[in-house]
Every structure is written in C-alpha cells, then in structure tokens.
Amino acid sequence: MDNQQITVTSPLLPDLDELNVMLKEIWDSKWVTNNGKFHRQLEKELAEYLKVPYISLFTNGTLPLITALQALRITGEVITTPYSFVATTHSLWWNGIKPVFVDIDPSNCGLDPNKIEAAITPKTTAIMPVHCYGKPCDIKGIQEVADKYGLKVIYDAAHAFGVDVDGESILRAGDMSTLSFHATKVYNTLEGGALVTHNEQTKKRIDYLKNFGFAGETEVVAPGINSKVDEVRAAYGILNLRQVDKAIEARHQVAIRYREALRNVEGITFFDDMEGVRHNYSYFPIFIDAEKFGMTRDELYLKLKENNILGRRYFYPLISEFSTYRGLPSSAKENLPNATKIANEVICLPMHHELSEEDVERIINVIKT
C-alpha cells in the first residue's frame, strides 16, 4: 500500500488563476492594505455567510482575543479553560489579567458551567470559554452564571467557523466571539482571524483598536495595535469563502466514515453530531481508554506516526501544565480532573477536505490492527 504522509490537516487553497486575476487588480490599483476594496468586500461577505451583524478582520486569531479584552476593558481575573491552544490564555497575560482555570465538561470539551461559580472572586470580570473542535459549549449555562455575577463572556471560537445552533450562528453567543483563519483551519486566509461584535459602536471601537487606536486622521483614542489585513489575503479569503461549503461537506464525509468504522472498537470514543447543530468537522478527536483498547494513547499516536500518519494530540499538554502557567493555584491537577484525563486520551485524526477514501481506510486499518 502507498505509504505517503498523511497530515492532520491541509490548507484549503483558492484556484491560482482566479487569485492571479485579483492580484492583477490589486497591482493595478496600487492600494494594497488599510481597509482596501477587497478587505471591505470580505468583511461584508463573511458577515453574510456567518449570519452575524458585525465582523472585523484581523491578521491572526490571537490578536482579536487580545483586542476583545481591551475593548471591553476586562481586568483582574478571567475564568477560562486549560483545554485549548495556548493562545487563549496568552491573550489574558498580554492584558495583565490573571487566568483562572476551571475544569471542562467531557461531553463537549468546553468549560463546565457548574464549576465556574466556585472560581469567581471579587476580581473576576469575565469568562473566556472555547468552542473546542468547533463543538458548541453549554452557551446557556455559561450565560446564566455570567448574568448572575455581571460578567462579560468572550468566546474563543477559533474552531467554530460556520457552526450554527438551531439555525443561528454560534458567534452570536456572549459579548464577543473571535475566529482564527489560520492555514490549519476549516476556512483560512493563510494567517488571519476576526472579531464578531453585536453592535455598530463596538465594531467601530474594535476597528480603532486594530488600527493603532486611530479614530480619524488626527485622533488616537486608545493604545491600539496594528492588525490590519492586506488586500492579498483579503482576495485569497474571498475566493476561499466560495468553496468552504464544499470543503465542509468533504470533511463531513470523512467523519461519517470514521464513525462507521470506529463505532464498535472497544476503548475508542468520539463525538457524534448534536441535534440542531450545523457542525464544521474542523477536527476529529478520538479518546483512547488504554485498558479497554489494549494500547495507550501515546502508543497509538506513535504507531500512526510509524505508518506515516500524523495525528496530533490537541490539546496535550494542558495550558495549565506549561511552565508559564503551572504556578497558578488553579493549575493544580486536582482542580482539573476531566481536562487532565481527556488531554491524556486524545488524538485528533487527520481531517481535511482532500483526504481520499484510501487515506481514510489506511488510517482506520492502522487503528484497527
């Protein structure tokens, strides 16, 4: 059998000829950045596609997190999940905010709302949950706690592009949501990201903040950052938006096949689709019970690797275990039993729009034998 390398993901790329036509237009116009024509077009098209009123483009998925915290003037302590990419917690640190880790609900890998209350102190000002793998958090439960204590909610929705719950975009939850358009995501602009807001004034303020704080030619209203998206990436993003639905459907087919093949394998569990949710199949995590499966997660990870299949252990280690954060009181393992267990059991299997049936069968075969 062909032993070509299979990576965990592969970027969705626009047609090069179509991109070249747009590049020519950019070259001819000599307008290459600072809220150009394609930038404005992409913001408009994304807002429509995602069914959100306001969206601001950013150069990656980390800066909208940092900026959301600034826009809402969040200070003190923020409750967040240890089970995510490290950028989630870093955004707090960049704002001088103390992260307070709370355990996850293993049924969705998101913050467990029942455990948030016990972590609230007089210094708590917000909650930063993550829709991990694009799987919706318990939005209602989290909002109830937030409302009771007057806390803001900023969702890191880096994985949740195009995810809807009961026909409504998941990005409408909380006070703000952020997206990542990194090359490894369902929808990408090479590097890129966005911040979704619910009203015009907030969008205006976000746009000041991502442009050094400029509110007009001579006025600076905040110590903003530079996170402006150039025309080349905006053009690339416009073309990718036209093919993202097809890519999501291709991922869906891969998920169907994985589930069919792995459903009765003892010691392996995975997520099924949730009723009323439009999923984006951004990741396909499986969880290994070593005793029942007869092999540890790491043994399977290495076995896949030996067979040139590069699954990834997202999200191991937990953010709370990195040297930067492990000294925090909330990083104690006893505080995070579910996250600790899941981080030791997870492998994300290869999942992208270009995986062939043969690739998927090869992966399944290695797992089953």
- Binding residues for ligand T4K (CB under 6 A): 7-11, 60-62, 84-85, 87-88, 130, 156, 158-159, 180, 182-184, 193, 310, 312, 314
The distance of closest approach from Cβ of residue 23 to ligand T4K in the complex, given in angstroms and rounded to an integer, is 19
Closest CA to 151 of 123, 109, 170: 123
Task: Kindly state the smallest distance separating residue 178's Cβ from ligand T4K, in Å.
Answer: 7
* Least gap, CB of 87 to ligand T4K (angstroms): 4
Q: Check the CA dihedral 256-257-260-262 and report its sign.
A: negative
Q: Which residue is nearest to ligand T4K (CB)?
A: 61
Rounded to whole angstroms, how far apart are CA atoms 83 and 117?
Answer: 18
Which amino acid, one-letter code, is at 48? E
Q: What is the nearest approach in angstroms of ligand T4K to the Cβ of residue 315?
A: 8
At closest approach, how far in Å is the CB of 318 from ligand T4K?
13
Q: HSE-up of 248 (CA within 13 Å, CB side)?
A: 19
**Closer to ligand T4K by Cβ: residue 135 or 312:** 312
Angstrom distances, CA of residue 146 to CA of 107, 154, 157, 204, 267: 21, 11, 18, 25, 37
Instruction: Indicate the residue among 11 and 141 with the shorter CB distance to ligand T4K.
Output: 11
Compare residues 43 and 156 and give the one whose CB is closer to ligand T4K: 156
Compare residues 158 and 293 and give the one whose CB is closer to ligand T4K: 158
Cis previous bond, 129, omega within 30: no
Smallest gap from Cβ 5 to ligand T4K, in A, equals 9
- Taking the least distance from each CB to ligand T4K, the nearer of 105 and 293 is 105
Q: In b/e form, how buried is each residue of 230-248, taking b as 16+ CB within 10 angstroms? A: bbbbbbbbbbbbeebeebb
Q: Which is nearer to ligand T4K, 293 or 319 (by Cβ)?
A: 319
- Nearest approach, Cβ of residue 126 and ligand T4K (Å): 16
* DSSP calls for 284-334: EEEEE-HHHHTS-HHHHHHHHHHTTEE-B-TT-S-GGGSTTTTTSGGG-GG
Closer Cβ to ligand T4K, 237 or 293, answer by number: 237
Provide the minimum distance between the beta carbon of 156 and ligand T4K in the complex, in angstroms, as a whole number. 5
Name which of 83 and 293 has its Cβ closer to ligand T4K. Answer: 83
The CA-atom distances, in angstroms, between 64 and each of 33, 58, 75, 142 are 18, 7, 16, 21
Report which of 365, 224, 251, 225 is spatially closest to residue 308, judged by C-alpha positions. 365
CA gap 82, 335 in Å, rounded: 11
Q: How far is CA 186 from CA 13, 110, 163, 230, 252, in A?
A: 11, 19, 11, 21, 12
Query: Closest approach of Cβ 29 to ligand T4K, in Å?
Result: 27
- Residue 136 or 293: which CB sits closer to ligand T4K? 136
In one-letter notation, the amino acid at residue 251 is: R
Q: Which residue has the tokens 């070509």?
A: 4
First to last CA, the chain: 15
